[in-house]
């Protein structure tokens, strides 16, 4: 009996669970893309690092219960993108090789979606790992996002701007990105910090998502003014590499989220396009609904949560197969495909879920698949 109890204690030990429940896709991503806490995108000759890549890496490390990598990524981000202090400033969005051959910040403007993911990852890491420093840093970063990257729009509410500079077009007109407002993240901020204007931002974000799905497809960029939403003056009515994340975020919403059913229904034409094309379209005219070329393996992975929320079981399985078979994982020049796949396939394989109020629910205690 004692021997049996000893064996059971070994099986339930955190050390053995960590080995048994290793996330192979995350381990491979780390070996290819992360060096000393820095996510390197080799598709750019400048060997760039973005705050987006750093923010996603923090999230995946938390999902994997990989605090060592989480700490390394956080330290590199703070030291190199935030001048050593994330309590004092938002991180710059772009870092890499300069024209003089030296490495450093290439663009000091922050990216609000990345800042939101970093704040979310810190808050949830603080809760799940019982770390007060993470919680405090996440709180301060969340407050700074509201101060520096949001604007109060009449009739809309507190609205997330893509960055502090360059997106207020003047005369009450703003350039926005629907993929920058994952509702589960903003819902979590609303729940954690009710004294701030996150509830207002949640409402404005639901408007951005719902009212820009004009033909059932989400655009990369839109313009908001006193007359409502209109096509972006720079890119036009195009939905592509940004918009694919909008379908991903909506698909991963908890089934109890009050906005999910409505948004999923409005995205029906996107699922129909996948069925007709055999893959998510790489680019869509969001006004006419016209598309032609299939997207990459990462696009297929990003579509999985949304398809799982619909009655498309055969199509879902076909996209799982495509996402797994066509993903390039041996080189560091397919960064975006791989992060989309970590989200989409990770969710599909139940590595994580988001709760009703946006809280992260990692599968630490379950046997890994």
Dist CA 196 CA 143 (whole Å): 8
**Which residue in the list 41, 52, 66, 115 is annotated as catalytic?**
52
Give residue-wise pLDDT tens across range 285-342: 999 999 989 999 999 999 999 999 998 999 999 999 999 999 999 999 999 999 999 9
Average pLDDT in the 129-155 region? 98
Three-state DSSP state, 357? coil
Proportion of the chain above pLDDT 70, given as a percent = 93
Q: What is the pLDDT of residue 172?
A: 96
Region 235-261: mean pLDDT is: 98
- Tell me the three-class secondary structure of 273-322, residue by residue: HHHHHCCCECCEECCCCCECCECCHHHHHHHHHHHHCCCCHHHHHHHHHH
Query: Is residue 176 pLDDT above 70, yes or no?
Result: yes
* pLDDT for 89 beyond 90: yes
Task: Give the whole-number percent of the chain exceeding pLDDT 90.
Answer: 92
Mean pLDDT of the chain, nearest integer:
94
Q: Is 52 a catalytic residue?
A: yes
User: Domains along the chain?
Assistant: 21-148 (1.50.10.10)
* Distance of alpha carbon 326 from alpha carbon 140, whole angstroms: 41
Taking residue 44's Cβ as centre, other Cβ atoms within 10 Å add up to 15
303 and 274 Cβ atoms separated by less than 8 Å: yes
For the cut 60, the answer to whether the pLDDT of residue 369 exceeds it is no
The answer to whether 181 touches 208, Cβ cutoff 8 Å, is yes
Active site residue 66: no
Options 41, 44, 66, 113, the catalytic residue: 113
**DSSP bridge partners of 50:** 94
- Give the pLDDT mean for 145-161: 98
pLDDT for 35 beyond 50: yes
CA distance 17 to 363: 11
Decide: 178 and 219 in contact? Cβ < 8 Å.
yes
Residue 288 confidence (pLDDT): 96
Give the pLDDT confidence score for residue 365 in this predicted structure: 80
- Strand, helix or coil at 225? strand
State the pLDDT confidence band at 9, using cuts at 50, 70 and 90. Answer: very low
User: Where does the pLDDT of residue 219 fall: very low under 50, low under 70, confident under 90, or very high at 90 and above?
Assistant: very high
With 60 as the cut, is the pLDDT of residue 221 above it?
yes
Task: Report the alpha-carbon distance of residue 306 to residue 139 in Å, rounded.
Answer: 30
Could you tell me which residues come within 8 angstroms of residue 7 by beta carbon, excluding any fewer than 6 positions away? Answer: none
pTM (2 d.p.): 0.94
């Amino acid at each position: 009996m004692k021997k049996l109890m000893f064996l059971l204690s070994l099986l339930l030990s955190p050390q053995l669970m960590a080995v048994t429940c290793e996330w192979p896709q995350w381990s491979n991503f780390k070996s290819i893309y992360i060096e000393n806490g820095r996510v390197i995108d080799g598709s750019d000759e400048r060997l760039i690092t973005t705050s987006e890549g750093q923010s996603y890496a923090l999230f995946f490390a938390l999902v994997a219960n990989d605090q060592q990598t989480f700490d390394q990524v956080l330290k590199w981000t703070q030291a190199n993108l935030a001048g050593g202090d994330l309590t004092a400033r938002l991180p710059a969005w772009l870092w890499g090789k300069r024209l003089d051959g030296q490495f450093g910040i290439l663009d000091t403007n922050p990216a609000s979606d990345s800042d939101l993911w970093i704040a979310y990852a810190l808050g949830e890491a603080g809760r799940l790992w019982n770390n007060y420093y993470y919680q405090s840093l996440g709180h301060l970063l969340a407050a700074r996002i509201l101060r520096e990257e949001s604007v109060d729009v009449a009739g809309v509410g507190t609205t997330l701007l893509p960055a502090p500079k360059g997106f207020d077009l003047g005369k009450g007109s703003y350039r926005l990105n629907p993929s920058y407002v994952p509702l589960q993240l903003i819902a979590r901020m609303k729940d954690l910090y009710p004294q701030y204007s996150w509830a207002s931002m949640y409402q404005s974000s639901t408007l951005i998502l719902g009212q820009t799905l004009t033909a059932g497809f989400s655009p990369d960029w839109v313009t908001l003014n006193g007359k409502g939403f209109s096509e972006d003056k720079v890119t036009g009515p195009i939905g592509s590499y940004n918009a694919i994340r909008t379908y991903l975020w909506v698909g991963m919403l908890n089934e109890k989220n009050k906005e999910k059913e409505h948004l999923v229904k409005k995205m029906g034409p996107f699922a129909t396009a996948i069925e007709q094309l055999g893959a998510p379209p790489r680019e869509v005219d969001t006004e006419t609904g016209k598309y032609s070329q299939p997207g990459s393996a990462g696009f297929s992975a990003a579509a999985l949560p949304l398809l799982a929320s619909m009655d498309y079981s055969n199509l879902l399985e076909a996209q799982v197969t495509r996402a797994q078979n066509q993903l390039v994982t041996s080189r560091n020049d397919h960064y975006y495909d791989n992060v989309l796949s970590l989200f989409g396939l990770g969710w599909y394989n139940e590595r994580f879920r988001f709760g009703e109020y946006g809280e992260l629910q990692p599968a630490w205690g379950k046997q890994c698949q």
